[in-house]
């Protein structure tokens, strides 16, 4: 009886194994906007449905300072990997605008699942070689709103990056080639877009 009781007293408590997944988003979005667009809304959904919670997030930058991608870490309730839950989370992230090239990592198994629907276009404006009057007379905010209008993309947050040589503007839509065609006439004729470089970013 005593031996049985002592055994119960000194039995090690079983520590529940954590169940994390990480969504790596191919989105050049600033940290505050990442929280508003992806983390906060997803966290509300996960908690409301007793699925889990968003436990963290981060942003990866290139050596130049330009954003490369961002992460959203999710802690799931329970220890099992439920494929339906994983698929539902991916669908939610895509509905928030997750671009192609994104992927979700299940930490327990190291399985990676590719996802994302939107393609991205980056427009890198020349900030040092244009005539002085161009920088004084042109408005970069007009460039942003006009490209959103021409590409019919939703103006949720302003995605951009600036350094000593210029400014990069990022837009996400259904097709890179379509967006490139839609803005062709504008970037060829608006003075602030002279010398700009256009790249596919997703």
Confidence band, pLDDT 50/70/90 cuts, at residue 17 = low
**Going by C-beta distance under 8 Å and a sequence separation of 6 or more, which residues neighbour residue 27?**
34, 69, 70, 97, 98, 99, 102, 120, 159, 172, 202
Which structural domain, as residue segments, surrounds residue 90?
20-115
The SS3 call for residue 192 is helix
Distance CA 161, CA 166 (A): 9
The upper half-sphere exposure of residue 25, i.e. CA atoms within 13 Å in the direction of its Cβ, equals: 31
Same domain, 96 and 137: no
What value does the mean pLDDT of the chain take?
Answer: 91
Closest by CA position to 192, among listed 122, 148, 149, 128: 128
Please state the domain count of the chain. 2
| pLDDT tens profile 75-98 | 999 888 889 999 999 999 999 999
> How far apart are the C-alpha atoms of 131 and 144, rounded to whole Å?
21
Q: Are residues 27 and 111 in the same domain?
A: yes
Per-residue tokens: 112? 């990676």
Pairing of strands 67-76, 102-106: unpaired
Flag whether 7 is in a domain.
no
Q: Is residue 13 part of a domain?
A: no
Contact at 8 Å (CB) between 167 and 140?
Answer: yes
Whether residue 162 is predicted with pLDDT greater than 70 in this model: the reply is yes
In the prediction, which pLDDT does 2 show? 39
What value does the mean pLDDT take over residues 38-50?
96
Examine residue 154 and state whether it is found in any structural domain, yes or no: yes
Contact 171, 158 (CB under 8 A): no
Looking at the fold, whether 158 and 94 belong to one and the same domain comes out as no
CB-count exposure of residue 155 (10 Å: 0-12, 13-18, 19+): exposed
């Amino acid at each position: 009886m005593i031996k049985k009781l002592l055994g119960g007293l000194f039995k090690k408590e079983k520590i529940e194994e954590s169940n994390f997944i990480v969504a790596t988003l191919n989105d050049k979005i600033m940290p505050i906007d990442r929280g508003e667009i992806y983390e906060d809304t997803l966290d509300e959904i996960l908690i409301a449905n007793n699925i889990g919670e968003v436990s963290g997030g981060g942003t990866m930058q290139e050596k130049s300072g330009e954003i490369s991608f961002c992460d959203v870490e999710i802690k799931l309730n329970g220890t099992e990997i439920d494929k339906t839950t994983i698929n539902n989370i991916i669908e939610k992230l895509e509905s928030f605008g997750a671009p192609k090239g994104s992927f979700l990592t299940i930490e327990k198994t190291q399985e990676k699942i590719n996802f994302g629907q939107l393609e991205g276009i980056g427009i890198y404006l020349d900030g040092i070689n244009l005539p002085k009057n161009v920088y004084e007379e042109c408005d970069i905010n007009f460039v942003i709103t006009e490209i959103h209008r021409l590409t019919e993309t939703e103006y949720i947050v302003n995605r951009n990056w600036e350094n000593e040589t210029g400014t990069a503007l990022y837009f996400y839509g259904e097709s890179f080639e379509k967006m490139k065609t839609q803005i062709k006439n504008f970037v060829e004729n608006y003075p602030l877009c002279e010398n700009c470089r256009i790249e596919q970013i997703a």
